[in-house]
Every structure is written in structure tokens, then in C-alpha cells.
């Protein structure tokens, strides 16, 4: 029996699957940077200039860059950068910081400070095509611009890995600010590359993600999807991106099971309002104002016309049912459900890094 470990929050869980039921295990593969190459690139940063490093989400590659940056500052007798993060990830980021560093909450809506350097990891995204620093900034600070970006979506289905007009809106928004970015491209093994510069320019990192993240695997009847890291499954809204990335490889009337702890809850105002009967799917087509997470609710309602979705999470069963998803209390139940509904000989594709893969 193959032993497959899948990320579930800050831990990994083992998927018990017989060899005869495993279609294939799909992971992202690319040559990762050695420490020497990482340090060489960091050496090109002007460390004498005051730096306020805004960590947009927590992951091992993000922690690795911070650690290398601090080591370089030490070697060059340069001041350590100030570390900032949103309240919800403050303690997570803090736990991975080098000794002697401090962190403060980033709650400032004014992002015109030229000392700010935003840092995040590139992923695929259903609305923008890619998730980058620019798209994270427009989501957080550009509420009015988000309505325009949402209105320019390709259609009512997700378009990960595709050039979109919505993405151009995000770049245009980022262009308004004299800030810098460190855009990281990674896989489950480590850092593949990172790009430094203004967030409207660091989007070139998407090409590197494309080079190893797109996989042609044919159509699958059953699929189990892990996002690959807890930063990508801390909320339901965030974890749905991994589902959009795999949707193109799931057969009509197939089954996709998303493994996402969602310890931060729904993470989407639109999904919350829908569950509370304050927002309908019809209202998502042409809204007068943007509500955070609208695109995911719209994509979910459209994609469910093509295949069933199961969810392994700690969210209340009521939430999953309201969203027409099959609620499964654990990874073991996911496999049991597949064999019970699809047959004991069913072959299952297992995706271990859904946030950084695009399947076709």
C-alpha cells in the first residue's frame, strides 16, 4: 500500500490507498535553488535603505527568504528590516522568525510608504489567472477597483493560468504605489526562484510558475486534492483556488474531494452571506458592489453543474451542505466515500500541491 502524506493545516495526514486504486500521485517538480544562489540574489538588495517587510502569508519558502535576509544584514552590518504581518498570521510568522527579530501588526491602509517591501508566494488564481503581490494588494486595499476586476472576469467559470483583464486591473492598482516586492516561486521541495522589484513588474514570476506547474494528466473520474501548504487552506475561500486549478482535469459527473482544514473559517464575506441567506447566486452575475469572495461563490455554483465536490475540513457540516458539498469528517472517510459511490476498483488521482499546480 503506497503511503501518501497530504497537507492538512499545520500537519500532514496519511492517505491509505491501495496500489490498485491509485491512478497517479501528482506533485509539482522543478529544480530548487541552493542556499548559495538564494544569498546571491538577496545580496542585490540595497540593505542600507530602511526596509519594512510586509509578510502577506506564512510558508516555509517565505520563512527561508526572511532568514537569508537577516543573515545577509548581519554579515554586512546592515540594520535588520522591520517585519510586519496581518493580525491573523502574526503568531505564525513570528514562530518562524530568526532569533533577535521582532514583528508588528500591519494594519495600515496607507501603502504609499516607499520603505514597504511586500512578500508573497505566487500561485494560480481563478479570477486573476495568478495570485501575486499585486492581486493580494487589490483584494486588501482596492475595494472599488475589485468591482472592476470582478466585472472583467472571463466568464462565470474560473480561469487559472490564463491572461485576464482582471489581472491587468491588479497591475494598474499596484502601479499607484511606490513600493517594492519579493515574489517567490516555490514547490513542495523548496524555492524555485524569486523576483525583486515593483509589484507591477514582479508578475513576471508567473512565467516561472507556468514552466513547471502546468500538467497534462487527462480527464479523471475521481480526484483527491490537497492544497500543499497550510497558508493555502487556512480558510475555505483560499482553499477553493486549488479546486479551480484541478477542475479542467475532472470528468463530467466526476468527483473531486478537497482536503483543507479551514481553521480560519470561511474567509469569504460572500460565502458567509450566502450561508446566512443574505446573498443569492443570481446577485453574483452583475453586482452593484463587490463583496469579498464573490468570484469563488460564483465559480462554485457553476462548477457543481459539471462534477460533485467533497470537503474534508473542520467546518460545520451545515456549511458544506448549504454549499451543496459533501461533508467528510476525515481523510479516511474520503477514500471510503469514493469506493462506496464509484466502485471498489475506482482509480483515484491524488494531487499533493494543488495551489501550485494547474491540471489539464
**Does residue 269 or residue 98 have the better pLDDT?**
269
User: What is the predicted pLDDT for the residue at 92?
Assistant: 83
Domains of the chain: 3-27+214-359 (3.90.226.30), 35-210 (3.40.50.11440)
| Whole-angstrom distance, CA of residue 218 vs CA of residue 248 | 9
User: What is the predicted pLDDT for the residue at 14?
Assistant: 92
| Whole-angstrom distance, CA of residue 55 vs CA of residue 50 | 16
Reduce the DSSP state of residue 284 to 3 states and report it. helix
User: Is pLDDT above 90 for 154?
Assistant: no
CB–CB of 223/357 below 8 Å?
no
Cell of 328: 467528510
CB–CB of 345/297 below 8 Å?
no
Cell of 174: 499596484
Backbone angles phi, psi at 29, to 5 degrees: -130, 130
Closest CA to 28 of 55, 2, 56, 61: 61
Strand partners, 15: 4
User: What is the predicted pLDDT for the residue at 317?
Assistant: 94
Q: Tell me: the pLDDT tens digits for 57-101?
A: 888 899 999 999 998 988 888 888 899 998 888 888 888 887 777
Closest CA to 339 of 20, 25, 24, 27: 20
User: Is pLDDT above 80 for 266?
Assistant: yes
pTM of the model: 0.92
What interhelical angle do 133-141 and 165-174 show, nearest 10? 80
| Whole-angstrom distance, CA of residue 312 vs CA of residue 213 | 24
Closest CA to 260 of 221, 302, 296, 305: 296
User: Is pLDDT above 80 for 112?
Assistant: no
Burial of 103 (0-12, 13-18, 19+ CB in 10 A): middle
| Whole-angstrom distance, CA of residue 96 vs CA of residue 84 | 13
For 344, which DSSP code? T
Q: Tell me: the pLDDT tens digits for 277-295?
A: 999 999 999 999 999 999 9
Burial of 70 (0-12, 13-18, 19+ CB in 10 A): buried
Residues of the chain with pLDDT > 70, as a percent, come to: 99
Q: Tell me: the pLDDT tens digits for 191-221?
A: 999 999 999 898 889 999 999 999 999 999 9
CB–CB of 348/222 below 8 Å?
yes
Burial of 56 (0-12, 13-18, 19+ CB in 10 A): buried
CB–CB of 65/38 below 8 Å?
yes
Q: Tell me: the pLDDT tens digits for 292-316?
A: 999 999 999 999 999 999 999 999 9
Closest CA to 239 of 322, 336, 313, 348: 313
- Note every long-range contact of 336-345, with CB atoms under 8 Å and residues 24 or more positions apart, other chains counting: 337/257, 337/310, 338/222, 338/224, 338/255, 338/257, 339/21, 341/255, 342/221, 342/222, 342/255, 345/20, 345/21
Amino acid at each position: 500500500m503506497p503511503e501518501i502524506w497530504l497537507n492538512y493545516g499545520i500537519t500532514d495526514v496519511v492517505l491509505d490507498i491501495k496500489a490498485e486504486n491509485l491512478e497517479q500521485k501528482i506533485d509539482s517538480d522543478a529544480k530548487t535553488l541552493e542556499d548559495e544562489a538564494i544569498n546571491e540574489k538577496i545580496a542585490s538588495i540595497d540593505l542600507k535603505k530602511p526596509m519594512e517587510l510586509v509578510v502577506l502569508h506564512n510558508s516555509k519558502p517565505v520563512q527561508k527568504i526572511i532568514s537569508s535576509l537577516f543573515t545577509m544584514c548581519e554579515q554586512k552590518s546592515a540594520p535588520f528590516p522591520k517585519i510586519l504581518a496581518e493580525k491573523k498570521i502574526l503568531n505564525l510568522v513570528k514562530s518562524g522568525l530568526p532569533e533577535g527579530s521582532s514583528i508588528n501588526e500591519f494594519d495600515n491602509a496607507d501603502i504609499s510608504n516607499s520603505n514597504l517591501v511586500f512578500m508573497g508566494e505566487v500561485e494560480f488564481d481563478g479570477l486573476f489567472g495568478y495570485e501575486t503581490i499585486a492581486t493580494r494588494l487589490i483584494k486588501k486595499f482596492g475595494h472599488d477597483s475589485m468591482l472592476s476586476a470582478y466585472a472583467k472576469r472571463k466568464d462565470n467559470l474560473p480561469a487559472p493560468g490564463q491572461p485576464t483583464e482582471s489581472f491587468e486591473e491588479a497591475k494598474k492598482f499596484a502601479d499607484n504605489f511606490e513600493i517594492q516586492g519579493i515574489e517567490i516561486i516555490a514547490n513542495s521541495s523548496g524555492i524555485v526562484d524569486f523576483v525583486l522589484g515593483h509589484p507591477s513588474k514582479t508578475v513576471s514570476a508567473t512565467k516561472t510558475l507556468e514552466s513547471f506547474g502546468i500538467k497534462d494528466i487527462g480527464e479523471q473520474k475521481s480526484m483527491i486534492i490537497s492544497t500543499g501548504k497550510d497558508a493555502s487552506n487556512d480558510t475555505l475561500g483560499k482553499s477553493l483556488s486549488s479546486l479551480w486549478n484541478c477542475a479542467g482535469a475532472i470528468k463530467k459527473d466526476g468527483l473531486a474531494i478537497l482536503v483543507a482544514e479551514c481553521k480560519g473559517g470561511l474567509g469569504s464575506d460572500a460565502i458567509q452571506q450566502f450561508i446566512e441567506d443574505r446573498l443569492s447566486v443570481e446577485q453574483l452575475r452583475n453586482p452593484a458592489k463587490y463583496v469579498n469572495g464573490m468570484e469563488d461563490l460564483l465559480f462554485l455554483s457553476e462548477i457543481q453543474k459539471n462534477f460533485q465536490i467533497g470537503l474534508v475540513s473542520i467546518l460545520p457540516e451545515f456549511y458544506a451542505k448549504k454549499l451543496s458539498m459533501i461533508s467528510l469528517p476525515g481523510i479516511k472517510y474520503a477514500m471510503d466515500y469514493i469506493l462506496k459511490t464509484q466502485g471498489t476498483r475506482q482509480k483515484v488521482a491524488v494531487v499533493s500541491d494543488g495551489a501550485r499546480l494547474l491540471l489539464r
